[in-house]
């Protein structure tokens, strides 16, 4: 009994494939699965096709990004302390804040490096800097 006839007993009754046929079938299946749309990244269409990842998006709203991701811990849009510190009027420099957004702080703040691109992080920083210090 061959492996093929063991695995496919109904088909094996009619014709067992030869080694070249089996290799050809395996190569065909492998090439089809390698080119499946589910495994390929989405390609931009139309006007977006000419853009690269380094180009800034049309509009990035730092306040909205902050509210939907940071506002859970930095209460009232960063104006008061909550689970996270008050950010309005922060004396920390821009590089420190960008680094903290990207890499977080173990046990205190998650990393957003894979969530936001550099333009979005700068937009959040601009929002934080726009907060009045004396509220």
- pLDDT per residue over 13-46, tens digit each? 555 555 566 665 666 666 665 555 555 555 555 5
Q: Distance between CA atoms of 132 and 110, rounded to whole angstroms?
A: 25
- Whether residue 43 is contained in a domain is answered as no
pTM for the predicted model, two decimal places: 0.57
- Whether residue 56 is contained in a domain is answered as no
Per-residue model confidence as pLDDT tens digits over 65-120: 999 999 889 999 899 888 999 999 999 999 999 999 999 999 999 999 999 999 99
Give pLDDT, residue 59: 75
pLDDT at 131 over 70: yes
Q: Distance between CA atoms of 135 and 132, rounded to whole angstroms?
A: 6
Domain extent, residue 97, equals 62-130
Indicate whether 15 and 75 sit together in one domain: no
Give pLDDT, residue 101: 95
């Amino acid at each position: 009994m061959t492996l093929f006839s063991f695995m496919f007993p109904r088909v094996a009754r009619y014709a067992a494939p030869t080694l070249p046929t089996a290799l050809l079938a395996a190569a065909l299946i492998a090439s089809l699965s390698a080119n499946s749309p589910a495994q390929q990244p989405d390609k931009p269409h139309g006007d977006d096709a000419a853009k690269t990842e380094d180009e800034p998006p049309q509009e990035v709203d730092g306040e909205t990004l902050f509210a939907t991701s940071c506002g859970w811990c930095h209460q009232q849009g960063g104006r008061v302390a909550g689970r996270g510190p008050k950010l309005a009027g922060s004396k920390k420099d821009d590089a420190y804040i960008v680094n903290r957004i990207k890499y977080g702080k173990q046990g205190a703040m998650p990393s957003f490096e894979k969530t936001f691109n550099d333009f979005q992080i700068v937009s959040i920083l601009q929002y934080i800097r726009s907060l009045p210090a004396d509220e």
